[in-house]
């Protein structure tokens, strides 16, 4: 009896289809990692900028209450100081805003602590010595690939809200 191998059909197209499927899944995962890393980098840079901004505010309590947005006497206002500390990352936040206020001390000692404005909404520069001043950065993070946003927000939005707050004791 002779052994005759069965003629095999060429299956070149299957390899291309499998490669396309695997490559698309790999690229989806890779770009998702890039977007998440970009968000974490933005949060870290924003936190450092808010801390620097609150230090800037605590030593400039003698400035007017418009000092949050208006430069005075050759000293950068709080908003411009925070933007300079962001190193251009503020352009990744749409609706970028910087606000400053004196903190409600009772709310800071709650569990969990809350950093909220003092009642009556006095100006940030009216904080007395050792009273806490807060600087807050707010805005929206827009990913480059909005399809990945469901990982952050559960699918309900196309942006990620950014709220970064830092507080420090007044030196004025």
| Percent above pLDDT 70 for the chain | 86
Listed by start position, the domains of the chain span: 12-169
Q: Does pTM top 0.85 for this prediction?
A: no
**55-74 pLDDT tens trace:** 999 998 888 888 888 898 88
Q: Which residues contact 133 (CB under 8 A, 6 or more apart)?
A: 54, 57, 58, 61, 100, 101, 102, 103, 124, 127, 167, 168, 169, 170
Q: Is the pLDDT of residue 125 over 60?
A: yes
**63-114 pLDDT tens trace:** 888 888 889 888 899 999 999 999 999 999 999 999 999 998 888 888 998 8
């Amino acid at each position: 009896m002779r052994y005759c191998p069965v003629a095999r059909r060429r299956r070149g197209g299957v390899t291309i289809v499998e490669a396309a499927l695997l490559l698309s899944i790999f690229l989806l995962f890779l770009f998702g990692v890039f977007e998440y890393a970009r968000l974490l980098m933005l949060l870290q840079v924003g936190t450092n900028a808010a801390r620097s901004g609150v230090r800037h505010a605590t030593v400039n309590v003698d400035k007017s209450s418009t000092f949050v947005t208006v430069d005075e006497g050759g000293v950068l206002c709080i908003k411009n100081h925070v933007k300079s500390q962001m190193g251009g990352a503020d352009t990744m936040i749409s609706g970028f805003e910087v606000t400053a206020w004196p903190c409600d001390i009772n709310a800071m000692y709650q569990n969990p602590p809350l950093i909220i404005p003092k009642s009556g909404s006095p100006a940030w520069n009216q904080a007395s010595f050792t009273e806490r001043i807060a600087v807050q950065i707010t805005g929206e993070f827009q990913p480059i690939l909005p399809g990945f946003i469901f990982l952050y927000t559960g699918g309900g939005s196309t942006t990620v809200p950014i709220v970064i707050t830092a507080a420090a004791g007044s030196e004025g």
